[in-house]
Structure 1
């Protein structure tokens, strides 16, 4: 019922609402709305993915934004995103059409769902215009009942509580009061919304006031019935006395006079009534400390005044009288102070009882390696081997334990982009380099990125594009000479000491294997290049050189031919199989830092590894990855065999770097 009432109030607020993507999707998630538009619950995940991929943030269209006082284009509006989705479904991923960039997010069998989403948005636009005008009470009644029919469908299950009839009765009763009072004037949308906010927020009658030995109730006037014990909850400074924002049409609130009622004064009187009604015990509960930083939070002003009165009226050699009456409970139920025997804050929750004895470190994640999964472990695809060595511990958790640590972010953004996140910036840079290599001009790239909504609005987006264009031009100038004489991708089918290696090797040219990335060189880039370089040398095609090259924004790395690639791959495959049985103590960035320090010969290997693992100011360490925290809880990840693995994996790689790249 509360969900349906909140959805109804959201619809009444359409003329002034931003219609942000999360709010509108929440509207569609309401069961009654889903039934009306025939959207299944499992289909909401697809709709959410469409909204994210098409770039919808807020606003129905450009006209809606102008009504809100913002002279902006229709970028990132619902109309913008829906046009992209429909064009992508019809034409697929392709070129701009009349300034619209297609978004091919909807698959062939999802046409019906896309059509229902379009119908839902069309109905929102229609009612956004209808609810803006002032009307008589009778017209409002007819209009709002039609609004319920357009957006809500009754529950199909007889056992399911249907709140629609109650909502219809509320509409008829509220607006019927105007007719009974003989009011024939026009009612503005603000008045209507305020009226229904009050009607739908009024508490239900519920049970009788005095129905048992313990009574739970709100603090309302005329309930000053004597009780042996009265306990007041939630007496926080920001919650009591309550603040009431007056309605915009309330002229009395703008010019208050002596004798006008105020919510704060009423609440102060209610507190006095509760104080007088307590015969034996008055208990006041509040949140005394902030749960984030444990700082002291002040009580309600009426509680503070009561404390001051007690301190002035009573004196004690043990200190303030009020302090002796106050019991401070721990913020968390598992605090050891709940079980130290203090009668005022003793806990009886057995699940939080501390384990007796001295504190011990948590047990290791795995006490012994997992049993071998079978011979299928020896069927290895090249792409899986590359993925394993980019993060061996995460690969183990995902492939052997089915633990997914990087779930997609469920929160939809509701504001247009101002500055891209690091990953988004990298994706834009990578796309810009690919566009330059494909021969696209800057103007064409800018039009495409603006049409997709990937760039911020206005000059911010133009400045960002120029910065990306300079980055792409510099990287493309280095990469272009390496892309001469392209070679077709090679099929990989090789047997190495019982392992069956399969897959395809692409990115081959006359000069060898070429890779590039619009980012600084990472340890995983070196490992990926090394693995593909070994496969290239194992296949030894005649049409290209047995060399490999990776171009990054800060340096270019080249690898020489390998005399015995099978032996190097055999060692990496043996470690791969070991890493499928237990978390491997190999971390691409930290292991690289250790080996570089070892090659420098200054004895600072442990210091370099710890610095990369722990990070620093505004520089997260590799050890902050959740996969490492899970796999090495109660353990020391930089202990043996970490140094040996770093040398075994990165040692041969560094030995095959060309002389100019020997010192990375």
Structure 2
């Protein structure tokens, strides 16, 4: 098989596997995170991948062993570097050493068993007795580790061993033949699996009601025997499990038993066990078209036999028809027709004499229609805030909060809105998508001194494409550096400073390390709306911290993004402090009640070099978006993503985002958006359109 990450995760998540390797749930989660980060996609190792790769394809990255070697090397070299053609994993922690040792043990166990399931394809064969002994040894290893769930499987394996041994003992002339029977291991495992599935704990008499398959019930007398599903095609059942049925595995030959006779015998055995009553059920009508359907062939033979031995009444017809079903006249009293409940048309006739349980169904319908389950708005009051004696904010976190108020509100409430867990891509990257190119650009920006393709073995595509992808990443990085050199020879060095906003409020902010007119930085991502808002707020915090009064208009905040360069300039320190006041206002407001004003939505036009139009009908009223601009805003807000591959549950500019959907359930999202735009949009975002531009 592929031996994918998901398959390994499912196996490692089994309780028996965790007991076998002495793992706890938290350790299993950490192991899976380590393997995913280290690059495990599919395949055990190079030898395993060779079976599925084409000739000449010798790129064996993204296998289990590839990730394991990275983790093992990370113990000795905890940095992102290559040694002996192995890329070290830099995030190994001391607590991971034991887990990596367990992974090495797991790999050794899997490596020892790698060919067991395909030995028959390699023209290698082993006897059934050999495979049963091997399986017994593996089960014993698990049981010695404290696994009790495999007791039934061990008993089945032992039973098969006894069957084989006894058959060989009593058939002395065939001893050599039985001992030398060779079967593939997958067949033996399927046999054990079918035996487990067909085991019914209730097959033994319970003293009350006993359920069992035909042919598996204990041969004891019962007052009542009920046989269900005696339909044509349902019984005789072709899926009946027969231990080690060589008639399925081998070619048919003279002397093979008849399955039909086996089913007939099982039917007669169950019939003879009934002491007082025998009920036989089958569907006489097709549930789709209402056409008459015959019962099983065995039941038909039984019916014809009864008609033969039961003497009919004088002058009675040979057959009678009941609702289209032909019945021997002497057996009419044995038949009972059960009508559909509650939708049979005959139940609505005036002369209806059948019990329809209409009162019960009416109560069910009334229960379903009750309005007691209607959700009510849960965010209908302002959340009271506790004012601490001293509050120190982090500028990066504060910017994240005010640009996406939904997460700020949930964080204040102490609510974590869990979304869908992303599915790990099981395939190796064949080409670099946008996220892959971003990863390479980001790495090159952070590690200019290690610009070698070997240090990106966990990111580059497989095959020959990796070299062209590397060259493309180098070219994109050179283009970014060339654009950067238009403004500065290098990225501006930054440091952390504490800005005292008020007596009880301080903020740790990032500012240039030395005095400079231009604060220049470079980003591997594109200039999306939310990132533009982040640049703007960093610009305001920088000028406000400098506190130069009416000066500072010549200072510039420049960010070289992958697609364009964003520049903020033209305001003084005094203006910066004024423009920051509305942002602190919504920061307090959004902690108490939902504020539908995401920066990813309000600055959407900047991505296309457009701007909003503002209007006011009265000088005393707030300036608002004009009708056309607001309609464009609503278009983005109500976007469904029907014709795009973007996951709308992660789109902060859309009402389908998981946090907006959670907060705004049972509320008028459009009304809340309009209220937020009318109250805050102009003060917050109009200066951005005025003093920020792109090149």
TM-score, shorter chain, exceeding 0.5: yes
* Separation (CA, whole Å) in 1 of partners of 2:359 and 2:112: 63
Distance 1:240 1:373 in 2: 73
Q: Aligned partners of 2:526 and 2:538: how far apart in 1? A: 20
The aligned residue for residue 145 of structure 1 is 136
Aligned counterparts of 1:325 and 1:111: Cα–Cα separation in 2:
65
Q: 1:103 aligns with which of 89, 102, 108?
A: 89
Post-superposition offset of 1:185: 1.1
Larger radius of gyration: 2
Q: What is the alpha-carbon distance in structure 2 between the residues aligned to residue 460 and residue 273 of structure 1?
A: 68
Native 8 Å contact 1:597 1:603 kept in 2:
no
Normalised by the size of structure 1, how large is the TM-score? 0.74
Residue range with higher mean Cα deviation, 122-131 or 255-264:
255-264
Deviation at 1:279, TM superposition (A): 7.8
Please give the alpha-carbon distance, in whole angstroms, between the structure 1 residues aligned to 2:239 and 2:290: 17
**2:499 partner SS:** strand
Are 2:191 and 2:243, in contact at CA under 8 Å, matched by a contact in 1? Answer: no
Q: Which residue of 1 aligns with 2:603?
A: 592
Cα 1:499–1:354 change in 2 (3 A) is farther
Deviations 1:475-496 (A, max 9, x none): 3332344343655423322222
Query: Matches of 2:491 and 2:248 in 1, distance apart?
Result: 80
Q: Tell me if structure 2 keeps the 8 A contact 1:35–1:152.
A: no
Please show how residues 490-569 of structure 1 align to structure 2 within 5 Å: 490-498=495-503, 500-505=505-510, 510=516, 512-540=518-546, 546-563=555-572, 564-569=575-580
Rate the CA distance shift 1:130–1:617 in 2: closer, same or farther, 3 A.
closer
The aligned residue for residue 479 of structure 2 is 474
Q: How far off is 1:530 after superposition?
A: 1.1
Is 1:534–1:569's contact at 8 Å kept on the other side of the alignment? yes
Q: Whole-Å Cα distance in 2 between the matches of residues 195 and 186 of structure 1? A: 15
* TM-superposition CA deviations, 1:165-218 (whole Å, max 9, x none): 444333232123223223221534434334433443331443535743x55444
Match of 2:633 among 590, 606, 609: 609
Alpha-carbon separation, structure 2, partners of 1:476 and 1:239: 76
The verdict on how the C-alpha distance between 1:651 and 1:476 changes in structure 2, with shifts beyond 3 A counting, is same
Cα offset for 1:425?
A: 5.1
Taking structure 1 as reference, are residues 631 and 194 closer, same or farther at Cα in structure 2, changes over 3 Å only? closer
Paired residues of 1:534 and 1:568 also in contact (CA < 8 A): yes
Aligned to 2:106: 120
Q: Secondary structure at the match of 1:128?
A: coil
2:197 to 196, 201, 208: 201
Residues matched between the structures, number: 596
* Structure 2 CA distance for aligned equivalents of residues 347 and 249 of structure 1: 51
For residues 86-143 of structure 1, the C-alpha deviation after alignment (integer angstroms, 9 at most, x for no partner) is 1112101232112211113330132122212211221221232577453345544543
Q: Measure how far apart 1:657 and its partner are.
A: 2.1
Q: Does 1:630 align with 2:662?
A: yes
Q: Indicate if the aligned counterparts of 1:597 and 1:608 stay in contact, CA closer than 8 A.
A: no
- For 1:580, what is the secondary structure of its paired residue? helix
Instruction: Tell me, yes or no, if structure 1 residue 26 matches structure 2 residue 10.
Output: yes
**Which structure has the higher relative contact order (CA within 8 Å, separation 6+)?**
1
- Does the 8 Å CA contact 1:538/1:565 hold for their aligned counterparts? yes
- Local SS of the residue matching 2:144: coil
Once residues 246 and 65 of structure 2 are traced to their aligned partners in structure 1, the CA distance between those partners, rounded to angstroms, is: 36
Match of 1:386 in 2: 399
Q: CA deviation digits over 1:631-654, x for unaligned, max 9?
A: 112222333322232222111222
Partner of 1:643: 677
1:537 and 1:651 mapped to 2: Cα distance?
18
Q: Does 1:656 align with 2:691?
A: yes
Q: How does 1:146-225 map to 2 (within 5 A)?
A: 146-155=137-146, 162-180=148-166, 181=168, 182=175, 183-185=178-180, 187-190=182-185, 191-208=187-204, 211-212=207-208, 216-218=211-213
**2:581 maps to which residue?**
570
Which one of 636, 643, 657 corresponds to residue 618 of structure 1? 643
Deviations 1:440-467 (A, max 9, x none): 65xx23x333x21x23322454555555
Q: 1:41 and 1:434, CA in 2 relative to 1: closer, same or farther beyond 3 A?
A: closer
SS at match of 1:643: helix
Q: Which residue of 2 aligns with 1:417?
A: 429
- SS state of the match for residue 583, structure 1? coil
Unaligned runs of 5+ in 2: 169-174, 300-320, 327-336, 345-356, 616-625
Q: What are the within-5 Å matches in structure 2 for residues 286-301 of structure 1?
A: none
Tell me how far 1:417 sits from its aligned partner.
3.4
Instruction: Call closer, same or farther: CA 1:268–1:297 in 2, change over 3 Å.
Output: farther
CA positional deviation for 1:386: 1.3
